[in-house]
Amino acid sequence: MNSKLEALFDEPEKRYLNADELSALSQYVSSVPERLSIYRQLRDQEVEILQPVVNTIQQQMPEVAESTLERSIQNIMLILRYAAMAMLIDDVDFMDKRLYGWLPEMVKAFGTHTLNQKLFELLNQKLAQTLSPQHLNLLKPNLDRAQTLMMSPRETVNSVSAPLAGIL
């Protein structure tokens, strides 16, 4: 659950929720059936969504090594699952919590920036064909966050500790 909603439940012994807090909670609760429906659709159609993406990327980028392609496809599948969960619980920060520790490093280590960009492009196209615009709008902030994380380099332990090399 997103941190704003989670905070509503932190101190019930001190006070009741005010009107704005109740409104935020009510808005989330009323959106849960739609969010569950989208989540179920993504879960049930994962293969139908991702297989055309895989087929297209194999045709468009035949030079990519199979192991590299498999790793990137697995990553995009995990990203879709995390995005679905983040949408369900209405918490875009969930993407940071789940992906930041490993995803940027994977892209950097394996040099898959171009491949991942293309996978995201194809995934977004397929999702636009699969989901209604309203449903896609609920999922998109999470996918966008994952794409930003994936494509932004992150400082590694080596680059942070490099200035200390002369001291030690």
The residue extents of the domains of the chain are 32-155
Q: What is the pTM of this model?
A: 0.84
**Number of Cβ atoms within 10 Å of the Cβ of 50:** 18
HSE of 133 in the Cβ direction (CA atoms, 13 Å)? 0
| Phi-psi sector, 64: left (phi>0), alpha (psi -120 to 50), beta | beta
Contact indicator for 73, 119 with CB cutoff of 8 Å: yes
Question: What integer pLDDT is reported at residue 160 of this predicted model?
Answer: 43
Q: Name the token pair of 31.
A: 């959106």
The answer to whether residue 162 scores a pLDDT higher than 60 is: no
Compute CA distances 52 → 14, 33, 43, 167, whole Å: 53, 28, 16, 53
Question: What integer pLDDT is reported at residue 6 of this predicted model?
Answer: 79
Nearest Cα neighbor of 143 from 157, 156, 159, 125 is 125
At residue 160, what is the residue type?
V
Contact indicator for 75, 116 with CB cutoff of 8 Å: yes
Reply yes or no on domain 32-155 having CATH 3.40.190.290.
no
Compute CA distances 29 → 18, 33, 126, 151, whole Å: 16, 8, 29, 33
pLDDT tens figures, 5-52: 777 788 777 889 899 989 989 999 999 999 999 999 999 999 999 999
Spell out the residues 6+ positions from residue 19 whose beta carbon is closer than 8 angstroms to its own: none
